[in-house]
Chains A and B, each alone.
Chain A
Amino acid sequence: MGLKENIKYLFSYKLIGESLIKLNTKKSYKNFKPPKNWRTDILAPPLKTGVFTKEIITRHYLEGRYVNGVKPVAWVTSGAPIEILKALGFYILYPENHGALCGARKVALEISEEAEKRGYSIDICSYARTDIGSTLSKKTPVGRLPKPDLLLCCTNICQTVLYWYRVLAEYYKVPLIVIDTPFVYDEAREHDIEYVKKQLEASIEVSERVAGKSLSFSKLKEVVRLSKMAAELWLEIMNANKNKPAPISVFDQFIHMAPIVEKRGDSETVDFYSKMLDEINDRIKNGIGAVKNERKRVLWDNLPIWYKLKFLSEFLAENGVSVVASTYTNAWGELAPMMDIERPIESMARTYIYPILNRGTGHKLKTMETMVKEFELDGAILHSDRSCKPYSVGQMDQRIKLLNELGVAALLLEADHSDPRAFADEQVISRLKAFVEMMD
């Protein structure tokens, strides 16, 4: 740890930056009103607690600017078991979340092109392209990203991350921990769980070396406890949408899921989601729906289309369609019950092998079918995301099953989560119109 870095961190982040952001949040919360261009005619106002989402994420990226040399920094994949790193005091950055942010701020294309110029194919995942482009050009909408001291890649979301993190390891010349999670076609076998557990155990030594300290198991248990609590609250928030009208839309969830991904294991994340749950329960009490005229309720499958959230949300709301459930946001809550605070490593091995993306196409169909029944849905939008093969393969069969066996309207929407070149406006509008008609 350098003295200069510490002073800068304390002064620029802790003393000035953090205080200003908090003050700003206080003001925004007190004088809360929807943004000027918010369609109050068709949508409920945004959640007031949403100002804390902004605060948490802004503080997180601001800390990132000054954190090198103060805390060890790890870059990790979105489904990675971060509890050990958290307990060791790492600052954790999720390049996929940064990619999502770039997508939502509509700068992903410009940054990806930096990678494409260097020979990275347009056919690789746009998150990876954005991240590599940002690494090469230093372009980012958050000012500056901290350099990693350690990379943690877990294959429980895709194999793509494995090759992507090899590239990062090459650019940053830092240790890479790979947690390889065998794909679960039916149920995970004992040797699969054992395999993951051994890798988790082996990862402790490398992480300790980089952090320069030993892992405290009581701290690990505390992180697992907080992680589990936050995930349970998140699950409750999503399940609140079983009410009619649904209090928040999946588009809101896409925005407010950032802390459960990025700040899992922190006490402030638990506080934040319990506040949000209170607000949502108030909405339910007062009969407030996210979409004012909720006529139809649908499901979203796969990643969001970050650069079109507003457009999609408004287009659907205009037609009385509320997107109330999503396999994607559900992924950060559904495994919470599997975490066992008393057996952190074992339960992490079991939990982290079971994300929806590491399970078969039939399991995803079952998840969607359960959602259709429990959330009383009329249709499903399956975003066929050309960047994300593991999520998208199987959707064509899933769509037919939803249509024929459950009798709900099901639309396959071709796009990409971050790359706007894969989004054809007119085609999407006409397909969405046909989808709405199908439900009427």
Chain B
Amino acid sequence: MLHIKIPTRREVIEKAKAEGKKIAAVYPIHYPRELFRAFNIQPIEVWGPPKTDTKKANAHLQSYICSVVQSGLAFYLEGGINVADIIVVPHSCDSLQGLGSIYKDFIKPKQELITIYLPREKNRENVEFLSKELKRIYKQLAEFTHFEPDREKLLEEIKKEEEIDVLVAKFYKSRENLPLSSREFYTILRAREYLPVELFKNILNYALLHSSSGKLKKTGIVISGLLPEPMEILDVIDEMDGFVALDDMACCMRRVYGEGSADDPFERMAERIVNSTPDPTKGSSVDERADFLKSLIDISGAKGVVFYNVKFCEPEYFYHPLLKDKLNESGIKSIVIETDINEPISQQTITRIKAFIEMLKEESRWA
């Protein structure tokens, strides 16, 4: 257990406002943080938030839309996003596409609305397309802020994010050597969703100072899905003497981007996103995803995979049966757990996770 004081979203927003920064409320998943930072805009991501009363969203969204979008909209309707100057909706899935469209055509928020279209496969043409898309967004931001950061400023912010990505990778690598519960580990990691770069870097560096040579003697799990909410799932895993060794989650690992190679800032930002790890919302192939999960297991020595799926999330649903088969063929056990980020984790889910970890422990004993 480390005693790290992480500022809250509210504190970060107040400080940013006091410093004259603008705030961008950003919906999931991929976007270039560096582009916004170059405009002196503080991105604050809106992943739900969980445990929101979604009644207000019911006037706009049917009940078969996932809880991430439901609470994301309810949060706006309750005034939770009032402090923001900009709303960003990346095109991650049909439901977020719908949310962006409802904002634009019906809700018409006072904030500047920015949508981002993200291409799918990893190739040159897609980098080219995305860099044009980012130039378009640059223009929109320049008009809105009356400010035009130059190439150097953009590259400076890109470099900072690239450094953070390297640091995050190191943080993951040290997972077993850190005296952190799974909840603490992910609370630190997910602070990137709203912290300024420097602050987040300091926190990671501080945590890494406590890395020791002693390894956690627990059963490692890889968790896959959109986000680890409700976070109680992490406590359940820890209670069973397990821990999350690595993840394949949209809010975390899937957004640890590699270094770009282009000198042009837009191309470089595009490269980073286009070449990111396999991701169902990008329609990655089943094999790519299975290989990625297997590599996470190999690197971390984890014993199994928990697919933690938000109910009604189609991008994730389609892959589960085939991924489970492919993992199974490699002797890796997995389980699919369904969740609603606004509901407490059910007793049945707790029992299933416990039984799963128990089974993994049992198998390792005999291995």
A interface residue numbers (CB < 8 A to B): 118-121, 123-125, 128, 155, 158-160, 162-164, 166-167, 169-170, 178, 180, 182-183, 185, 189, 191-192, 194-195, 198-199, 202, 360-362, 365, 384, 386, 389-390, 392-397, 401, 414
Contact = CB atoms under 8 A, between A and B. Distances in A.
A372 to B, nearest CB: 17
A160 B117 contact: no
A284 B336 CA distance: 57
A158 B94 contact: yes
Interface in B102-135: 102, 104-106, 115, 117, 119-121, 125, 129, 132-133
B173 interface: no
Contacts of B115: 183, 185
Given A163-B280, A195-B129, A394-B106, A361 B322 contact: no
Contact of A386 (B64, B284, B285, B324): B64
A394 B94 contact: no
Contacts of A178: 120-121, 283
B335 to A, nearest CB: 11
Please name the 8 residue pairs, one residue from A and one from B, whose CB atoms are nearest each other, closest first: A393-B98, A362-B105, A163-B318, A119-B321, A162-B283, A191-B132, A397-B106, A182-B117
Query: Which among B101, B117, B132, B324 has the greatest number of chain A C-beta atoms within 10 A?
Result: B101
Nearest to B311: A123
B95 A389 contact: yes
Contacts of A185: 100-101, 104, 115
Interface of B: 59-62, 64-65, 91, 93-95, 97-102, 104-106, 115, 117, 119-121, 125, 129, 132-133, 136, 280-281, 283-287, 311-312, 314-315, 317-322, 324, 336
A160 B94 contact: yes
A195 B321 CA distance: 32
B321 A397 contact: no
> Which secondary structure dominates chain B's binding surface?
helix
Contact of A169 (B91, B101, B104, B285): B285
Given A159-B93, A361-B98, A389 B105 contact: no
A301 to B, nearest CB: 13
A394 B99 CA distance: 8
A192 B136 CA distance: 11
Contacts of A395: 62
B133 A191 contact: yes
A185 B106 CA distance: 12
Contacts of A397: 60, 102, 105-106
B65 A389 contact: yes
Given A119-B324, A166-B283, A393-B62, 7 more contacts: A159-B283, A166-B284, A167-B318, A185-B104, A362-B106, A389-B94, A389-B314
8 contacts: A118-B321, A124-B317, A169-B286, A178-B120, A183-B97, A185-B100, A361-B105, A386-B62
Contacts of B106: 361-362, 394, 397, 401
A119 B285 CA distance: 18
B285 A394 contact: no
A182 B61 CA distance: 23
Contacts of B286: 166-167, 169-170
B100 A180 contact: no
Contacts of B280: 163
Nearest to A161: B283
A176 to B, nearest CB: 8
B119 to A, nearest CB: 6
Contacts of A386: 62, 64
A108 to B, nearest CB: 18
B125 A198 contact: yes
Nearest to B98: A393
Contacts of A414: 62
B318 A384 contact: no
Contacts of B100: 185
A166 B62 contact: no
A166 B117 contact: no
Given A191-B136, A365-B105, A393 B317 contact: no
Given A195-B119, A199-B125, A393 B65 contact: yes
A128 B61 CA distance: 23
A361 B101 contact: yes
A159 B95 CA distance: 10
Contacts of A194: 129
Given A394-B98, A396-B60, A159 B315 contact: yes
Contacts of A182: 91, 117, 133
Contact of A396 (B61, B132, B281, B283): B61
B102 A163 contact: no
Contact of B59 (A191, A393, A396): A396
Given A195-B119, A361-B105, A120 B317 contact: yes
Contact of A166 (B95, B132, B285): B285
Nearest to B290: A170
Given A123-B317, A160-B314, A170 B322 contact: yes
Nearest to B284: A166
A123 B102 CA distance: 22
A395 B102 CA distance: 10
A384 B60 CA distance: 12
Nearest to A397: B106
Contacts of B136: 189, 191
B101 A360 contact: yes
A164 B283 CA distance: 9
A390 B94 contact: yes
Q: Which of B94, B97, B133, B336 has the most CB of A within 10 A?
A: B94
Nearest to B315: A163
Contacts of B99: 393
